[in-house]
Amino acid sequence: MTRHIPALDRDTAAIGLGCMGMSWAYTTPEDRDDADSIEVVRAALDRGITLLDTSDAYSSGHNETLVGRAIAGRRDEAIVTTKGGLVSSYVDGRPHLERDGRPEHLRAAIDASLARLGVETIDLYYLHRVDTAVPLEDSWGTLAEAVAQGKIRALGLSEVTTDEAERAHAIHPVAAIQSELSLWTRDALGVGTNSDGTPAGDVVDWAAAHDAIFVPFSPLGRGFLTGTLDTQALPANDFRARLPRFTGSAAKANQRIIDVVRHVATRHETTPAAVALAWVLSQGEHVIPIPGTTKIARLDENLTVADLVLSPDDLAELNALPAAEGARY
């Protein structure tokens, strides 16, 4: 099972690899294991998973450096995607992010990312978030300049509305949109709203209509949809321990979602993770989810989605799942 990326004219596996958790949010600088993570990235390349997703915000560039080390000597195999426009730090031991879409920041960020990744050109570069203090046209125009300079091949947006995508696309083609999408987070399908309460729009459909790929992050609901996560046993350094959906009564209520996913998985003699990924992939041929993992065994488990075909009845049952209890953050 493969997917095509029109802006790069390249094919890749139907799933990519989200590398954030190797450096950020699920671990701390003291606990991460770079050697193991590098082996996972290289194992992904061995298996044809070439779309590698990172960001300069993931532990202040550490994740980009890690990915750069992993692809050394194998640059031509990898589709390197990174992001700029968020600045990361730790506040009281917890991950903290602030938006910065100023042109001067983005220019410096691109050059720093190229150095950390050890590449001459970034295949796909996202504006990580729209900075409301800076006109989108200024931020996006700066990224378009970097394309003209040969530093970037294609541009993407992360967590945007269809209106924002249209504004950017009028300046330079939007090659990709990245947003959260899973069985328990469906805002990208048009059910979400802007901060002022107006509809955000169906960005999955927008991407298809504009020959762009849609890249869902957290397609396994940050691990919840694997059916193996004990929310009460999350360590203090794992940011999920503070997320509303993973705590208290919400965590208990959300078990009804995984119960249905398990039921479908049993019917197909597969895993809940494979079912969750198959549902995401069913949203369109332009959809390339990026599940993250720090274990090669989980990487192989995710790849079993290639052998799974959900029936119309399966999809109807999954589409009828209730909305998740609790906010995303």
d(CA 67, CA 53): 9
The SS3 of residue 113 is helix
* Cα distances (angstroms) measured from residue 217 to each of 23, 30, 33, 65, 312: 16, 25, 22, 20, 25
Determine phi and psi for 104, rounding to 5 degrees: -65, -35
Residue 126 annotated among the catalytic residues of the structure:
no
Which residues contact residue 281 at a Cβ distance below 8 angstroms, ignoring those fewer than 6 apart?
A: 1, 14, 15, 287, 289, 305
* Cα distances (angstroms) measured from residue 281 to each of 121, 183, 220, 231, 309: 29, 11, 12, 26, 10
The SS3 of residue 71 is helix
Determine phi and psi for 260, rounding to 5 degrees: -70, -40
d(CA 167, CA 210): 13
Selecting among 26, 58, 125, 126, the annotated active-site residue is 58
Instruction: Please give the DSSP secondary-structure letter assigned to residue 199.
Output: B
Burial (Cβ within 10 Å: 0-12, 13-18, ≥19) of residue 24: buried
H or E segment to which residue 110 belongs: helix 103-117
Residues designated catalytic: 58
